[in-house]
Amino acid sequence: MADLLPEKCTVLVIGGGPAGSSAATQLAKRGIDVVLLERAKFPRNQVGESLIPHFWKFTDQLGVTEKIQQQGFLSKAGGITVWNNKIHQILFSDYGYTRPGLHIERDVFDQLLLEHSEQQGAQVFNQVVVKKVDLSQSQPIVAYTDTRGTSNQQGTIQCQYLIDASGHSSLLAHQLETRQTISSEMNFLSLWGYFKSSRFVGVDRQSHSHAELKTMAPVTFVMTHDDGWLWHIILREKTSVGLIVHTDKLTGMNKIQREAYFIHSCARIPYLKDLLRDAEFIAGSLQYRPDYSYYASQACRENYYCIGDAAGFVDPIFSHGVQNAFYNAAVASLAISESLKNTKKAARFAALCENRMQQFYSFSRALSLGDFGCNGVHRDLVKSLMKSMPPLELELMLVASEMTNRSENFKQLAREAGVWEQFSEQFEQQKKGVIAELNF
């Protein structure tokens, strides 16, 4: 890592997660002077351990695919859902994917991406906390606190373009008061923690011991329960379990009470309790996120870009988070690159980037939460994206929405986009192919 922070740079990136590190890589590979400030010391804990095969096209662009493969993350063949007592299985290979999804330890994965960005020429500074951004001039001025030494040092950096990839804290959206919390009939929050020695669901629809990971490919397991839905993601040394629950279930609870609720729920929910029957909860691993779904009403302007979770967060049910980060980083870095070539069109490139990011966000929200036309979701953008998607990729998304009973509005958009007819027969076959049981 670099030692001395510069006073100026061409592009400043806030945050070293997948969005920030991949944006820095994209820019550095183009020979652009880029500085990245990350508040934490890596490796650091982060949720979001399931990746769908779409992400490989972005790692290919970044030149980091081989490093990811060498890490030996667990390959996953697909997913199994138990949604309102109906069981479905989805296999990526049925939709033309030749490379697997992955179950990753995010601390390892994120550090790999961040180190790669530095190897490509980005200046990376960990343990530097951005406090405020001054956008009153044409070139943003970023105030920070350098916490690496024994005493905190204050400083500023001036840049031509700013990328806010600060994650859930959404630094710039909060400062500009553009962050909007999603409102719906029922608001949710998330709790997640880790277990040792959990069993896992294999591609054969059966429960297996952790030791059988060497011979049986796992799947991501998702199911509904009385208070919401859950995920179960087996990793190499531990298992991630998350509960998405109605907000009112945890109203007034402190940290100890939330942990008690989490452990009690894991011990009583069908299927999950069987997977965890020999498992041990890792003390102190429980984490909590209250404002579950949100978006920034202004993500991109002439001299700043909010990407990844700093721009919006939907629902993690279809593992879009890291993919969204990669996509945002790709379009934002392209917009900045073109703006540097033609500064007179910087506002136009920012507007185009905003449009693409809102399109992807709208698609994710319509798919994941089953509604559209409100909360920052644009129907026309969703339909436009549907028309441009590869048929097999779109079919996978349509089938996935059916697996979780969230498909009616999404199917309506597909009909309006004129793409539903080519999938309707396969879709009906998928509905008929409900799994009878799981052998736990």
pLDDT digits (tens, 9 = 90+) for 286-338: 998 876 678 888 899 999 999 999 998 876 676 778 988 999 999 999 999 99
Residue 82 pairs with which residues in a beta bridge?
87, 223
Q: Could you tell me which residues come within 8 angstroms of residue 388 by beta carbon, excluding any fewer than 6 positions away?
A: none
What pLDDT score was predicted for residue 124? 98
Omega within 30 of 0 (cis) for the link into 6: no
What one-character DSSP code corresponds to residue 158? E
pLDDT digits (tens, 9 = 90+) for 168-182: 999 999 999 998 877
For the chain, list the domains and their CATH numbers: 8-49+105-180+293-353 (3.50.50.60), 188-289 (3.30.9.100), 376-432 (no CATH)
CA 35 from chain centre, in angstroms, equals: 23
Buried b (16+ CB within 10 A) or exposed e, 302-341: bbbbbbbbbbbbbbbbbbbbbbbbbbbbbbbbbbbbebbe
Q: What are residue 151's phi and psi, to 5 degrees?
A: -125, 140
Q: Which two tokens stand for residue 392?
A: 């097999």
Specify the amino acid at residue 11: V
Q: Which two tokens stand for residue 200?
A: 């896992």
pLDDT digits (tens, 9 = 90+) for 121-133: 999 999 999 999 9
Q: Which two tokens stand for residue 145?
A: 């606190």
Residue found under tokens 């996120």: 289
Report which of 338, 329, 339 is spatially closest to residue 303, judged by C-alpha positions: 339
Q: Which two tokens stand for residue 66?
A: 């081989």
pLDDT digits (tens, 9 = 90+) for 376-431: 567 788 888 888 888 777 777 777 777 766 667 777 888 888 887 776 665 555 55
pLDDT digits (tens, 9 = 90+) for 343-374: 999 999 999 999 999 888 878 777 766 654 45
The band of 150, judged by pLDDT with boundaries at 50, 70 and 90, is: confident
**What mean pLDDT is predicted for residues 10-33?**
98
Q: Which two tokens stand for residue 312?
A: 């919006």
Could you tell me the pTM of the whole model?
A: 0.91
What pLDDT score was predicted for residue 432? 46
Q: Locate the DSSP E strands across 307-384.
A: 312-313
